[in-house]
Structure 1
Amino acid sequence: MQLLKGIYTGLLPAVLASAPAGAAFFGTYDYLKRVFKQLDPEEKLATFHHMVAAAGGDIAGSAVRVPFEVVKQRLQAGAYTSASQAVKSILASEGVRGLYTGFGSLVIREMPFDLIEFPLYEYLKVVWARHNGDKPLATWQTALCGSAAGGFAAGVTTPLDVVKTRLMLQEQPGKYSGVWDALKKISAEEGVQVLASGIVPRVLWISLGGFIFFGGYEASKQVLSSRIKKQRT
């Protein structure tokens, strides 16, 4: 039981953050996509628009997610025994700002990831659809596009993930003053190779997650779109 408890330490904050953070991200992302579609009906600047939409989604999602992420990281590091204790202690010693420790690094990590993942995902869908005679892609096909895009983005952004974890685990004031300071110190003191720590499992895990995530995302959109059309008719 103790082993299972240790494995699932920090699970509650992660679960609680998932739905609101995801809603904030995709609500912003899809809204901006629609706005850009109206401004550019021929989608000549589609890739750029997808990048901007992803960036906007990141900022909105991170604003919701970071406090939960900080609590999760502190719990997993053994600094606190419960989420409520962690929140109270952080607020008392560091203020609200403490709950947003690593906000900049999370945005900097997530933004490059999503600036790669989402435009690549949208691009792969377009290419596959053209190869398929411009027929709508099946859910499994969009899922494969998401898996490929996610895996590629995961590999490229692994160093930023390492830095984000270091920043969130440190107490205030900490060893690292920011993202670039952490990158320099880790490279100088531990070697550049440390910035690639966990790259293989990260790529594999996010590739699998991308398959499930994007497949579910597109399937959900199709179901909701179908229901909305039925309600309007």
Structure 2
Amino acid sequence: MNTPPSSRVASFGQTEINWDKLDKRRFYVNGAGLFTGVTVALYPVSVVKTRLQVASKDIAEKSAFSVVKGILKNDGVPGLYRGFGTVITGAVPARIIFLTALETTKISAFKLVAPLELSEPTQAAIANGIAGMTASLFSQAVFVPIDVVSQKLMVQGYSGHTKYTGGIDVATKIIKSYGVRGLYRGFGLSVMTYSPSSAAWWASYGSSQRVIWRLLGYGNDSKATAAPSQSKIVLVQALGGIIAGATASSITTPLDTIKTRLQVMGHQENRPSAKKVVKDLIAQDGWKGFYRGLGPRFFSMSAWGTSMILTYEYLKRLCAIED
């Protein structure tokens, strides 16, 4: 018989901290600072990935290394942080929305799947997947406009793209040309990309953790009485993050490539549709064109996912309410 979420926590040596055990004020304040630091560290990977995805066929830069080399040659280190100010401005509210929706939905989802009497990894995959998809859907309203503006800043002056003076300049020109809806260019594809990606990431993370713990002898039917050490908990969480990043990036890179190309197109009247973007990618590189930037995206999702989950789990321990 499957154990309820509350006793499941105990069987894994207090490796999970539920939403009702957190000091929400500390959680949001400390979380804003911690996740800003993670974004600073990993932002350059997003710039490289975006440039690879929008490069025209005649551009010589075909590898992540050559893109980095070109950016440093032309703009120095600041070039790796183009659009960062815009991203960090929107990242805090988007992250708050995401984490709140994630944790509250996860509790309801576990209760929903409990009567099905599935294996614990399967329950975790379903509950975490539902929570991840729901959280992504809620946060897209804030994230998509930030994504549109920041990606235009990332590729400005590159492969024929327009140059801007900053995020406000980008937003102003988009609204002038297309109205507010222009800031939601690719919204449908963003939902189709990030929601399944978030679902796959959290489902993989939740289930892989439990599989790993069982392999280490900490399953519900285990006779082990000693709780795992803090270092072992962190190691399992990190490994779960890597597995989750690999799974999510492999599934969603094609949609991400199409979405990015749609969002960074210029302001011409005959902007191509998603169908035209697909045809152009196939004509230029064949089906492998959909996986442009897979290396940086895989690294980004694995590195971001691992860093994010370790930061997130640390944040929860930091903000846990003492019994």
The answer to whether TM tops 0.5 is yes
Structure 2 vs 1, CA of residues 181 and 116 (structure 1 numbering), >3 Å: closer, same or farther?
Answer: farther
Extract structure 1 runs of 4+ deviating beyond 6 A.
none
Q: Once the 2 structures are TM-superposed, how far is the Cα of residue 145 of structure 1 from its aligned partner?
A: 0.7
Q: Once the 2 structures are TM-superposed, how far is the Cα of residue 196 of structure 1 from its aligned partner?
A: 1.3
Give the AA of the match of 1:11. Answer: F
Secondary structure of 1:191's counterpart equals helix
Q: Once the 2 structures are TM-superposed, how far is the Cα of residue 41 of structure 1 from its aligned partner?
A: 4.0
- Give the counterpart of 1:176 among 272, 275, 284: 272
1:8 corresponds in structure 2 to 81
Query: Structure 1 residue 200 and structure 2 residue 278: aligned?
Result: no
Please list the CA deviations of residues 180-217 of structure 1 after superposition, one character each: whole Å capped at 9, or x if unmatched. Answer: 55334422454111111121232123222222111111
Whose helix fraction is larger, Structure 1's or Structure 2's?
1
Structure 1 residues not aligned, in runs of 5+: none
The 8 Å contact of residues 109 and 157 in structure 1, kept in 2 or not, is answered as: yes
Deviates more, 1:169-178 or 1:57-66: 169-178
Aligned length: 227
Query: Structure 1 residue 187 and structure 2 residue 282: aligned?
Result: yes
Distance in 2 between the 1:204 and 1:114 partners? 16
Query: Structure 1 residue 110 and structure 2 residue 194: aligned?
Result: yes
Alignment of 1:80-99 (within 5 A): 80-99=164-183
Please list the CA deviations of residues 96-153 of structure 1 after superposition, one character each: whole Å capped at 9, or x if unmatched. Answer: 1111111111111112212221111100111112222325561221111111211222
Secondary structure of 2:254's counterpart equals helix
1:123 corresponds in structure 2 to 207
Give the AA of the match of 2:295. Answer: V
Distance in 1 between the 2:278 and 2:202 partners? 25
Structure 2 vs 1, CA of residues 119 and 174 (structure 1 numbering), >3 Å: closer, same or farther?
Answer: farther
Q: Once the 2 structures are TM-superposed, how far is the Cα of residue 3 of structure 1 from its aligned partner?
A: 3.1
- Larger Rg over CA atoms: 2
Distance in 2 between the 1:157 and 1:12 partners? 26
- Give the counterpart of 1:29 among 86, 99, 102: 102
Structure 2 vs 1, CA of residues 126 and 68 (structure 1 numbering), >3 Å: closer, same or farther?
Answer: same
The 8 Å contact of residues 139 and 219 in structure 1, kept in 2 or not, is answered as: no
1:151 corresponds in structure 2 to 246
Distance in 2 between the 1:53 and 1:177 partners? 31
2:92 corresponds in structure 1 to 19
Q: Once the 2 structures are TM-superposed, how far is the Cα of residue 156 of structure 1 from its aligned partner?
A: 2.5
Q: Once the 2 structures are TM-superposed, how far is the Cα of residue 220 of structure 1 from its aligned partner?
A: 1.4
Secondary structure of 2:82's counterpart equals coil
Query: Structure 1 residue 138 and structure 2 residue 233: aligned?
Result: yes
Query: Structure 1 residue 214 and structure 2 residue 298: aligned?
Result: no
Structure 2 vs 1, CA of residues 7 and 120 (structure 1 numbering), >3 Å: closer, same or farther?
Answer: closer
Distance in 2 between the 1:90 and 1:175 partners? 13
Structure 2 vs 1, CA of residues 192 and 39 (structure 1 numbering), >3 Å: closer, same or farther?
Answer: closer
The 8 Å contact of residues 66 and 103 in structure 1, kept in 2 or not, is answered as: yes
Distance in 2 between the 1:22 and 1:221 partners? 14
In the superposition, the TM-score normalised over structure 2's length comes to 0.64
Deviates more, 1:90-99 or 1:2-11: 2-11
